[in-house]
Every structure is written in C-alpha cells, then in structure tokens.
Structure 1
C-alpha cells in the first residue's frame, strides 16, 4: 500500500492552500505551511493510508522532518493532483520512536 501512495504523490503537481486550511495549523500548533510542505521532500519520509478516517475521501498520514529537523506528523489528502494538508503537529513521543527506527 505504501508504494501506491508514493506513486500518487509523484503525480501531484503542488499543494492546495485556501481559506479552509492555510492558517489552521499555525493557529493550533505553530506549524507553518512551508514546514508542512518540506517533509514531503526530506528523508526519511514515512506515509500511510489512514483507513480509519477515509470515509468521504482517502486520507493519509505522514511522519517527516523539516529542513531544520523539526519532526512533524501530517494528515493530508490528495485533490485534483494536489496535496491538501488537513492537520500538522509535532510528532508525539511514540511517533518519534517509530521515525527514529527508520533513520
């Protein structure tokens, strides 16, 4: 499944930021939009299908790091070949341990 998701991501042409999601992560978790985008280009990048929250549309979650090494947990969907960030926050302790094992 992870390979299918990575193929979908390779077909994406950019990110979708609009009034519904452009300020939300900064206000809730002090995560800038540019930081959300950076994790998709840095290694390691772990991405999984979020089957529990994929009722109306396919949702995914990712563990990754920003250019400055900030470790983020990001929930996103893909709409019209664009990545739409739903939520972004710092990784929890458990998520950091999972991520660290991939280094």
Structure 2
C-alpha cells in the first residue's frame, strides 16, 4: 500500500502527544517494519489498525491508526501512540521472532 504521508491535526496530535511521543517517533516507527493488525473492536465507519513498531532508538511503541484518502492521496492518521510496557515488549519480541522465523 503506497502511503503519501500523514494526516495530523488538532484532533489526533494532542492524543498522541499526551503520552510523551513525538511526531518524528511515530512517523519513523510507522515507516520502519511495523507489525500491523486489524482492530475490529475499535473500527466503525473507518477500519482501524493496531501497530507495533520502534522509534529510532529502538524503543517499542504501540499505535492505533487508520488510513484516509485526502485529495486523492492515501494518508496514515495516527489516533493514539505510546511507549509499550515491559509485558507488552516481551510479547512483541516473542511474536516478532516467530514472524521472522517463518
């Protein structure tokens, strides 16, 4: 899926920023080998996705996103983002190693 950029505004940026992550960290994690899964529990008129990735320093992050078409371009709209807790990191590492060994 070709992505043209990000859809940031006053609606989604404050929700992401309140957890101490930066736009740069979110954008980096989303473009560098993230794990993406559908999030049917939070989907409605738009499909939502759970994304797990890492910032430039390698710190694992959890994100919720949707994809939107704006002016004919497909954009990623981050909905929430935060650093992962230790238990989540362990589960992520296990899942990642299983995925890579396939």
**Which bin holds the TM-score, normalised by the shorter protein?**
0.7 to 0.9
Q: Could you list the runs of 5+ residues in structure 2 that have no partner in the other structure?
A: 98-102
For the pair 1:83 / 2:76, whether they are aligned, the reply is yes
TM-score using structure 1 length = 0.81
Task: Report how far residue 100 of structure 1 moved.
Answer: 1.1
Alignment of 1:1-80 (within 5 A): 10-26=1-17, 28-43=18-33, 45-80=34-69
Q: Which has the larger radius of gyration?
A: 2
Output the CA distance in 1 between the equivalents of 2:28 and 2:64. Answer: 14
SS at match of 2:11: coil
More strand by share: 2
- RMSD of aligned Cα (Å): 1.4
SS at match of 1:40: helix
Output the CA distance in 1 between the equivalents of 2:43 and 2:14. Answer: 23
Task: Report how far residue 95 of structure 1 moved.
Answer: 2.1
How many residues were matched structurally?
Answer: 92
Q: Could you list the runs of 5+ residues in structure 1 that have no partner in the other structure?
A: 1-9
Task: Report how far residue 94 of structure 1 moved.
Answer: 3.1
